[in-house]
Structure 1
Amino acid sequence: MMAGPSATTFHSLRDERFRRLFDDFQSTAYRLETRQSYDVSYEQEEFERFRAGRARGQFPGIASWADRVRAGRRLGKSFTRVHVMEEPLTDYLRFEAAWCYRDTVAAGEDVRVIPIQPGQWPDGIPRLDYWLFDSHRLLLMNYSRHGTFLSAELVNDPERVSDAVRWQQRAWALSVPFNEYAAGFDEFMRRR
């Protein structure tokens, strides 16, 4: 789902204009995640530690996100996220849940999960990652088939934004709170 000519495109997660979107929104930042694996460079060292069963080390990427969530919450802003997760969970999803979501939920992010079985997909939910700010600014997140970030596109088309709001409502209705979901797993997100 590529954006049209009216879109602003970001090719780096470190782009200051991209980062500013997470400070400049007024009240809500919502994320839909649909991939079962992401290839994120700042997570590689911790991901390898997790896969090797070693103790968690410093995790600056998640620490800075948790700080951002806490700061936003103090200003009355809400951060919400729904992740469609296929079971059994991939190593990456186990890592993300155990070493990322637990921290961001503790910081005040409302993370939810739609668990699915292989070959299934929830009705009314696209296979598309995006951020939706204040229910009117849509940021499409584009990844390679291996989960590497390619670009993010800020879309201004009201019809596409309306679609994203509808998908958000549908995903929220189908999801369960992360802590409720995680209660069925051990500390490494393996089913009990």
Structure 2
Amino acid sequence: MKPSSVPPFGELIAGCQRSAVHLELRDSYGIASEDEDFARWRELGEISPASVEGRRPWLDLVKEAVSRGVVMRRARIVSVPVSEYIRYEHAGTYLNVGAGELIRWLPRPEAATLALPGADFWLFDDRLIRFGYFAGDGAFVGHELNDDPQVTKMCADAFESVWDRSTPHEEFAV
């Protein structure tokens, strides 16, 4: 499927019935230093109330999916010491966890012996993958869907291998 024809994430998660897993492989996702939320975090050292409200659509989407019985898990592979962006992301992860996402972190050296796909992905019900593509500076490039059973199995296996080695958010210090 061409990236331009990928449905919005909300539609993909609405069709999900059992599980949605997300593997993140990058240390930065193109957030500009002039981004107001990021700048506020730098200033305060914590996630601001305005940032919480800005994240409300995502948090509501997670809560709705979890209330339908969808188990949402996210695993993040990160370099250590972590980047400033990852510290920012870690600071706000409590919101995702509070909404019902299960989140774990894996230091990159501990992932070195794992077979991993070359791009971030979401895997819905072990049947449909949405790959996310980013430029070298972390800027978003596009998405692509894939439902090839061999590729979905490869991604499911990769996610589970990361999940098994990773540390729950509550125990991971940055």
TM-score bracket for the superposition, by shorter chain length: 0.7 to 0.9
Match of 2:89, as an amino acid? Answer: E
The correspondence for 1:29, drawn from 8, 20, 24, is: 20
Q: Does 1:58 align with 2:53?
A: no
**1:49 paired residue number:** 40
The correspondence for 2:160, drawn from 140, 153, 169, is: 169
**2:69 paired residue number:** 76
Match of 1:84, as an amino acid? Answer: I
Match of 2:161, as an amino acid? Answer: R
**2:84 paired residue number:** 91
Contact preservation (8 Å) 2:10, 2:61: no
Please give the residue correspondences for 1:8-157 in structure 2 after superposition, counting only pairs within 5 Å.
8-10=2-4, 17-40=8-31, 44-53=35-44, 56-59=48-51, 60-99=53-92, 101-117=93-109, 121-157=112-148
Contact preservation (8 Å) 1:139, 1:155: yes
Aligned to 2:50, what secondary structure does the other structure show?
coil
Aligned to 1:170, what secondary structure does the other structure show?
helix
- Mapped to 2, the partners of 1:143 and 1:8 lie a distance apart of 16
- Is the alpha carbon distance of 1:83 and 1:122 closer, same or farther for their aligned partners in structure 2, counting shifts above 3 Å? farther
- Is the alpha carbon distance of 1:33 and 1:76 closer, same or farther for their aligned partners in structure 2, counting shifts above 3 Å? same
- Mapped to 1, the partners of 2:39 and 2:58 lie a distance apart of 20
Task: Provide structure 2 residue ranges, at least 5 long, that are not aligned to the other structure.
Answer: none
User: CA shift at 1:61, angstroms?
Assistant: 4.0
Contact preservation (8 Å) 1:129, 1:141: yes
User: CA shift at 1:62, angstroms?
Assistant: 2.1
User: CA shift at 1:47, angstroms?
Assistant: 0.8
Contact preservation (8 Å) 2:116, 2:155: no
User: CA shift at 1:65, angstroms?
Assistant: 1.1
- Mapped to 2, the partners of 1:122 and 1:146 lie a distance apart of 25
Match of 2:75, as an amino acid? Answer: V
User: CA shift at 1:148, angstroms?
Assistant: 1.0
Match of 2:96, as an amino acid? Answer: T
**1:3 paired residue number:** none
- Mapped to 2, the partners of 1:78 and 1:91 lie a distance apart of 29
Aligned to 2:136, what secondary structure does the other structure show?
coil
Aligned to 1:79, what secondary structure does the other structure show?
strand
User: CA shift at 1:122, angstroms?
Assistant: 4.6
Task: Provide structure 1 residue ranges, at least 5 long, that are not aligned to the other structure.
Answer: 1-6
TM-score by length of 2: 0.87
TM-score by length of 1: 0.79
| Percent identity of equivalent pairs | 28
By percentage of residues, which structure has more helix?
A: 2
- Is the alpha carbon distance of 1:86 and 1:122 closer, same or farther for their aligned partners in structure 2, counting shifts above 3 Å? farther
